Amino acid sequence: MKLLNKILFAAFFLLTPNWLTPNVVWAENISLADLLNPDLQIKIVADQFGLSRELQPRVDSEAVIETTGEYFIKHYQLSTPKLGSFELNMKLPIAREREPRPALFLVPGYGGNDKSFKHMRDSGDNVVVEFVYPAVPSTDPTGLAIYGLENTLKIQAQMAVALLWAARHPAIQGDRINIVSVSLGTFLVPASIRLAQQFGFAAYTSIFAYGGADIKAFLLPLIQQKLRPSDFGKLSGPLAALFDFIDPNSQLPFLKGRFLVVNASDDEVIPKESTAALVKNLPMPKDIITVPLGHIGVGKDKLINQLVEIVLTWLHQQEAIN
């Protein structure tokens, strides 16, 4: 039974090798019923990664990477002892540089790193923050899948810390942060918001574009590849429950604020059932906008510019940004 509990706890943390340490021993006192408790799931994840209301990530580097007459962009590398390093980009207006402003916090789709700001040139008198996904060591589809399996929860925790850090940044109005997630980002960010909420963060609005809510269906087959058939047979039910934490369907009902969902009428990437689950599980108040054509992506400038216009128009209507 002790070995089974250790396997369960390791699986809950996505089988990342660095987490298979003596720290899992204390999980022997946690029952499966406890692991199914949403509030205890939050505590387990927060404890594992050292998250707290007082946690302040260390700024390892801060550099201006672009400047114009109207704004400049800074690149930050932050770190915490248990989460390691992660990166953000921040676009700040030059005028009245020291005055706090509303912010857009971007969680892009796959391949969107360092490209989001190209389409956010006209974001007005607001700060724009972009979470930068870590470099993936493999381009092979199987390698990408395994990397995602092993690092999903860690990235979600890093996003939560990034949200808390942004809310305290002197250039940002902490009570007017608007989260904009796109494609892959919509699957990751619900758990991050829920984690950050536990430590006082409150998003003003959250926008989910070209996304869905079925990450668990994607991850479970990958876990089956990583475990022996006999082990998976024993653990398939518990694993399905344990992955509730990272699955958007489990976290969306707990999110707070105002919401916008933007979806495509002919999305060839995100199943309609997945988008429908996202819409269903988000609490009110929420607005739904359906746009023509297919899925958004790098190089689809027309769709990206259309999304930017929709997002900024809606945020102005909510009086969320300047």
User: Which alpha helices (H) appear in the chain, and where do they start and end?
Assistant: 2-12, 32-35, 38-49, 141-168, 184-197, 215-226, 229-242, 248-251, 272-281, 301-317
Question: Has residue 29 been placed in a domain?
Answer: yes
DSSP 197-227: HTTT---SEEEEES--S-HHHHHHHHHHHHS
Quick one: pLDDT at residue 139?
58
Domain count for the chain, please give it: 1
Look at residue 159 and tell me if it is in a domain.
yes
Residue 322 lies in a domain: no
Q: Residue 94 — pLDDT band, cuts 50, 70, 90?
A: confident
Q: pLDDT digits over 104-123, tens only?
A: 999 988 665 555 666 676 78
Amino acid 8: pLDDT? 40
Average pLDDT of the residues in 2-28: 36
Q: Please, are residues 267 and 275 in contact by the beta-carbon 8 Å criterion?
A: yes
What average pLDDT does range 210-236 have in this prediction? 62
Alpha-carbon gap, residue 299 to 124, rounded angstroms:
24
Three-class DSSP category at 310? helix
Number of neighbouring beta carbons within 10 Å of residue 292: 9
Q: Please give the Cα distance from 254 to 190 (Å, whole number).
A: 9
CB 34 within 8 A of CB 9: no
Whether 167 is in a domain gets the answer yes
Identity (one letter) of the amino acid at 106?
L
Residue 287 lies in a domain: yes
Domain range enclosing 199: 2-317
The pLDDT of residue 205 is 98
Give the CATH number for residue 303: 3.40.50.1820
- What tokens does 97 get? 């540089």
- 120 lies in some domain: yes
From CA 236, how far away is CA 280, in angstroms rounded?
Answer: 26
- pLDDT: is 148 or 165 the higher one? 165
| pLDDT score recorded for residue 20 | 28
> Exposed, middle or buried: residue 224 (CB in 10 Å: 0-12, 13-18, 19+)?
middle
Whole-number CA gyration radius for the chain: 19
87 belongs to a structural domain: yes
